[in-house]
Amino acid sequence: MSIAVYPGSFDPVTAGHLDIIERSAKVFNKLVIAVLVNSAKTPLFTTEEKVDMIRETTKHLNNVEVTSFSGLLVDFAREQNANVSVRGLRAVTDFEYELQIAQINSKLNKQLDTMFFTTSIEYAYVSSTIVKEIASYGGDVSDMVPPYVEECLKKKFGK
Ligand code: PNS
């Protein structure tokens, strides 16, 4: 059975993430979406809110699980019996950082390979940071996030 993890901050999950989730869920028997609990960053959404938003927007995918993790990704992947880490690549600017993480992870755990999915062109410019910026000023993010996340953003920013 092929099990993959898709780790990230997901603050919040975007339509670009969802595209990667839907496509990678077709490739692996099981896809575990893993929200990083990162005390170094100050996120907009709590870990529970992030997990809830991903669960809500992936409920049509029956081989997808959503959970959170702290510590090293390689340790979490081992616990999950996963041998692949999924990451999305939007542009060449993502590549250097992603290559470094993939190589570090492979050094820490030889069993873990990283597989990159290229982001569909319509989401190439979408990031959680951009979405938060636009939503904070009451801008329209309906093309960039699932409808449930749009509602959560409106509540968060009191719009
Ligand atoms: O969505 P992001 O913020 O680009 O995701 C980054 C993430 C979660 C993949 C990365 O920071 C991570 O795996 N962190 C866990 C700690 C870890 O394993 N560090 C070693 C590799 S950098």
Mean pLDDT throughout 115-125? Answer: 95
**Ligand 1 neighbour 105 (Cβ under 6 A):** yes
Q: 40-44, 63-67, 144-148: which has the minimum mean pLDDT?
A: 40-44
Whole-angstrom distance, CA of residue 63 vs CA of residue 37? 23
pLDDT of residue 30: 98
Residue nearest to atom 13 of ligand 1 (CA): 73
Known catalytic membership, residue 39: no
Write down the pLDDT at residue 60: 97
What is the predicted pLDDT for the residue at 39?
Answer: 72
Confidence at residue 38, expressed as pLDDT on a 0 to 100 scale: 83
The predicted model gives 54-70 an average pLDDT of 98
3-123 CATH pick, 2.60.40.790, 3.40.50.620, 3.90.79.10, 3.90.1150.10? 3.40.50.620
Separation of alpha carbons 54 and 22, rounded Å: 12
Q: What is the mean pLDDT of residues 114-127?
A: 95
Does residue 17 carry a catalytic annotation?
yes
Nearest CA owner, ligand 1 atom 10: 8
The protein residue with its alpha carbon nearest to ligand 1, atom 3, reads 9
Provide the pLDDT for residue 67: 98
- What DSSP assignment string belongs to the chain? --EEEEEE--TT--HHHHHHHHHHHHHSSEEEEEEE--TTS--SS-HHHHHHHHHHHTTT-TTEEEEEE-S-HHHHHHHTT--EEEEEE-SHHHHHHHHHHHHHHHHH-TT-EEEEEEPPGGGTT--HHHHHHHHHTT---TTTS-HHHHHHHHHHTT-
Structure pTM? 0.96
Tens of pLDDT along 1-23?
Answer: 899 999 999 999 999 999 999 99
